[in-house]
Amino acid sequence: MIVNPVTAQVPPYVRAVGELRADFQSVGSGTQAMNVFETGGLRLRCPRVAQGCEGVLINTGGGVAGGDKCSYDFDVGPRAQVTFTTQSAEKIYRAQSNAAEIDVALRIGAHAMVEWLPQETILFSGARLNRRLDMDLEETSSLTMLESVIYGRMAMGETEVTGAFRDRWRIRRGRRLLFAEDMRLDGDMTAALDRPAVGDGARANATFLHVAPDAEARLEEIRASLAEAPCEWGASAWNGMALVRLLSPSPEKMRAAIVSLLQSFRGRDAPRVWQ
C-alpha cells in the first residue's frame, strides 16, 4: 500500500502533547512560582530580575508541528507581578493534516499585574494553527499583552505563504466579557494579506492590549511613543482598555516599533530574552 504523505492522517502517538501549569504568589516584596507542572517538552524558568517575576516559557521541541497540542494554564494571585515571555520566536511548521493547537488560560487576582509578552509566532508556509487565549481579571488587576505574527520565512525566500490560522481571544474583567476577537486566514494567506483592506502587503502584524483602571489615560503616551515608528499602526482606548494594532511588510521594522513601545510603556527594557 502506498501512502500519500501530504493527505495521510498523522498517528496521535507521533505528535507532541505538552502542558505547563503554575501558580504565582506574592511573597514578601517579590513574586514566586508555586506548584509548577511541566510535561511533554514545555518548561518554565524564572531568572532573577530587578522587578517582579519573569516567567520564561520554553518549548524544548524547537517548534510546533501539525497535530501538536500545547496548553498553558496560570494562576496569578493577589498583588503578584509576573511577566511572561518566551525564550525565542515560536515556529509553526508545515502541517500534513491536523492543525496545531495552542491554548492559554490565565487568571489574574486582585491588584495583580501581569505582562504577557511572548516573542513572535512564525507561520511557515503550509502551517495550520488554532490558538485560543482566555484571560480572566479582577476589577483591580491589570494586564498588558502583546502577540505578533510573521507570515513566512522571508529570510529563506518564502514569499508565498499558504495554510490556516485561527486566533481566538477572550478577555474578561470581573467575570464579564470585556474583549472578544476572532481572526481567521485560510488558503493563500499571502493573497489575503496583499488586499488593501486586510494587510496592504503586510507580512507581519501585532496586537498590543492594555487592560487596567488607568488604561485610557495612557493613550496619548502610547501614541507619542509610536510617533516615529517605522511601520503602520493605530491606537485607541475605551472601556478601561488601550489597544494598538501594528502592520508591516518588514518583520524587523515591526519588531523595532514594538521594542520602542515596550521600553516607553514599561519604563524599562523589553524582557532580557528579547535581546
- pLDDT tens, 159-172? 789 999 999 999 99
The pLDDT of residue 89: 95
What pLDDT shows up at residue 2?
42
Give the pLDDT confidence score for residue 189 in this predicted structure: 94
* Angstrom distance (rounded) from CA 129 to CA 99: 5
In single-letter form, the type of residue at position 37 comes to F
**DSSP letters spanning 53-101:** EEEEEEETTSSB-TT-EEEEEEEE-TT-EEEEEESSPEEEPBPSSSPEE
CA distances from 191 to 5, 94, 201 (A): 26, 18, 9
pLDDT of residue 123: 96
Show the low-confidence residues of the chain (pLDDT under 70): 1-14
The pLDDT score that the predictor gives to residue 10 is 57
pLDDT single digits (tens) 136-167: 999 999 999 999 999 999 878 787 899 999 99
Q: How far is CA 7 from the centre of its chain?
A: 30
Pairing of strands 30-39, 81-86: unpaired
Predicted structure pTM score:
0.93
Specify the pLDDT at position 12.
60
With a CB cutoff of 8 Å and minimum separation 6, the contacts of 127 are 66, 92, 93, 94, 95, 100, 163, 164, 165
